[in-house]
Amino acid sequence: MTTFDPRTISKPVYEALAGLRSQSSQDEARLKEQKNQAVELYTYLATWGMMRLKAEERALTQEGKQQVVKKFFECLESLSGLKNLAGDRGLDTIKDLSSDDYLGLTGLGLELANDFSFWANAVYHDITGEE
């Protein structure tokens, strides 16, 4: 019997954001992009859905924001066990899911995005202001 560990979602999110934060050659503008994107993930996902968020990953021109969305999908792939979600084939993977699987993945994604928002404020606690 496996017991539920409440850190199942928090740990990979914290590690992803802390890893981004600690990369060399980070300037204040990129750190603000990362923090703002991590905080906004939940609202974007709840408003526009998983397919649009995945498509947005390619469309983002701000590298800090794109890095966060990529980390989000890497974490989602790991937690869901769904292959080819984080890479270039991710949009096709999402598009081809059954309705039930898509809704389930979106529910997990919302929980994950909620954690991204929380951990962004903890990891980037000293980064303030808008872009």
Ramachandran category for residue 81: left, alpha or beta (phi over 0 → left; psi -120 to 50 → alpha): left
Where residue 96 sits, what CATH number does that domain have?
1.10.520
Q: What is the mean pLDDT of the chain?
A: 92
Query: pLDDT tens digits for 46-94?
Result: 999 999 999 999 999 999 999 999 999 999 999 999 999 999 999 999 9
Give the residue with greater pLDDT, 25 vs 79: 79
Radius of gyration of the chain (CA): 14
Confidence of residue 3 (pLDDT cuts 50, 70, 90): low
Is residue 14 domain-resident? Answer: no
Query: pLDDT tens digits for 102-114?
Result: 999 999 999 999 9
Range of the structural domain that residue 90 is part of: 29-123
Distance between CA atoms of residues 47 and 103, nearest Å: 14
Is residue 23 domain-resident? Answer: no
Is residue 37 domain-resident? Answer: yes
pLDDT for the residue 99: 97
Q: Phi/psi of residue 84, each to 5°?
A: 60, 35
pTM for the predicted model, two decimal places = 0.92
Is residue 81 domain-resident? Answer: yes
Structure tokens at 90: 């991710």
Is residue 100 domain-resident? Answer: yes
Is residue 48 domain-resident? Answer: yes
Count of domains observed in the chain = 1
